[in-house]
Amino acid sequence: MTAFRSSLLVITMLFSLSALAQKDTIIINRGKTIYTKVDTFKIGNDPSSIERIIVIKGDSLIGNKTDSFVLKTDKIVMGKTTILTKTDTVGGKQQKTVEISVSGEGLGEMIEKQIDFFTNRDKKPGKKVEGFDLFKTEKLVEGFDLFKTEKKKELKNVENFWWVLDLGFSGYNDQSNYALARTTGFVAPNIGKDQLKLNMTGSRNVNLWILMQRVNLAKHMLNLKYGVGLEMNNYRFAQENLQFQKNPTAIYLGMVEYNKVKLAADYITVPMMLNLNTSPEKSNGLRLSAGVSAGFLYSSRFKTKEGGDIDKLRSDFDLEPFKLSWVGELGLGPITLYSSFAMNNMWNKGLDMRPYNVGIRLGARPEKAKTKTITATKKPSSFNWSEKL
């Protein structure tokens, strides 16, 4: 009777049985039901009345030696991820299928959605697709991670800053020998250090840097910074009746007192500095720069203003055409201060004055590091999913 029941079970499973996964129950035609619990199948019409117990080992169902089963099933559950493998014998050939579901949704469908999203050029990375975000480091679906993602802060090795503006004050350190200057006729007998003192609030420095460039040297903390621009200096004198003469240059006191008396000297300047950035991944860290600059005098003039009348006298006034300076920057957060101290005399003869500039720099603030998401999987041109292995 036992052999008859076994033969009947084999014939039934080979020809007329259809196995359907319904949670933890597989229904077999003719009223037979296989109840699954842990790693055993209980075959019978009722769980309390067991006709046969089959132990699962690997992906096979092992029964008695005389039994022959063509249905092999293995089920693995990890969190919300379920992997079910089935092997069926059809026409003498084995066919293995794998069913994977995550939170009740088939893996194949989920992968197709993600591949469609990943290969669709019209969609931007980072957009959520039906409960799953490919480019987030946290998993929205437990137990499922199709693409390994990594976020990395990216900095430019070369950074350009266009049209940087400096606003500050111009001054000079007067080391002139006025006794010698008087004997040569460069200054009048009544001209001395007091007569060439500056009105510091009215002595302005405006620099317009057409381009400043920063090049990474070491881990974006040590950089080379250089540029090219226009350096414009206005020296306003406190002595309001001061006069300049050209060809030959002479400085003397006139009869008329003016509202403003200025000497302007403009240079084309190229600075070069070493830059230290303590927080390269942020834009609000401490920044230090130090170096040198070389300038060429392209324009100079003496300007007086009386009421609404402005007079300009253009000449080089024996100014030194080249200027070499120590330059520096100090930046913290959005604020950047600059300074410039000339190494050489601003005059070609007659006087000895070393100019300097200090002020605030608008622009040339390093950009904040941009976060870039990197995926370990290359972008496929096409993808076909099949649940059959």
Diameter over CA atoms, the chain: 141
User: What six digits make up the tokens of 86?
Assistant: 């089935």
Is 293 found in the same domain as 334?
A: yes
How many Å separate Cα 353 from the centre of its chain? 45
Residue 378 belongs to a domain: no
Is 175 found in the same domain as 133?
A: no
- Per-residue model confidence (pLDDT) at position 11: 43
Is 210 found in the same domain as 327?
A: yes
Is 283 found in the same domain as 216?
A: yes
CA geometry: angle 87, 93, 94, nearest 5 deg: 15
Q: How far is 204 from 260, CA to CA, in rounded Å?
A: 13
pTM flag (> 0.85): no
DSSP three-state, residue 331? strand
Q: How far is 114 from 129, CA to CA, in rounded Å?
A: 8
Range of the domain at 345: 158-370
Is 329 found in the same domain as 180?
A: yes
- Per-residue model confidence (pLDDT) at position 154: 80
How many Å separate Cα 127 from the centre of its chain? 20
- Per-residue model confidence (pLDDT) at position 366: 76
* Alpha-carbon separation of residue 317 from 97, 164, 279 (angstroms): 94, 30, 46
The model's pLDDT over 87-108, given as tens digits with 9 standing for 90+, comes to 666 666 666 666 666 666 655 5
Q: How far is 77 from 290, CA to CA, in rounded Å?
A: 64
Sign of CA dihedral 236, 260, 202, 208: negative
The model's pLDDT over 58-67, given as tens digits with 9 standing for 90+, comes to 444 444 444 4
Residue 364 belongs to a domain: yes
- Per-residue model confidence (pLDDT) at position 139: 39
Q: Which residues of the chain have pLDDT under 70?
A: 1-153, 368-389
Q: How far is 130 from 304, CA to CA, in rounded Å?
A: 74
Is 85 found in the same domain as 167?
A: no
Residue 256 belongs to a domain: yes
Tokens 């092999």 locate to: 72
- Per-residue model confidence (pLDDT) at position 357: 98
Residue 219 belongs to a domain: yes
Give the Cβ contact number of residue 110 at 10 Å.
22
User: What six digits make up the tokens of 308?
Assistant: 């609404």
Residue among 279, 266, 271, 259 nearest 314 (CA): 266
Specify the number of domains making up the chain: 3
Tokens 């490919």 locate to: 134
User: What six digits make up the tokens of 29?
Assistant: 């035609």
Is 117 found in the same domain as 76?
A: no
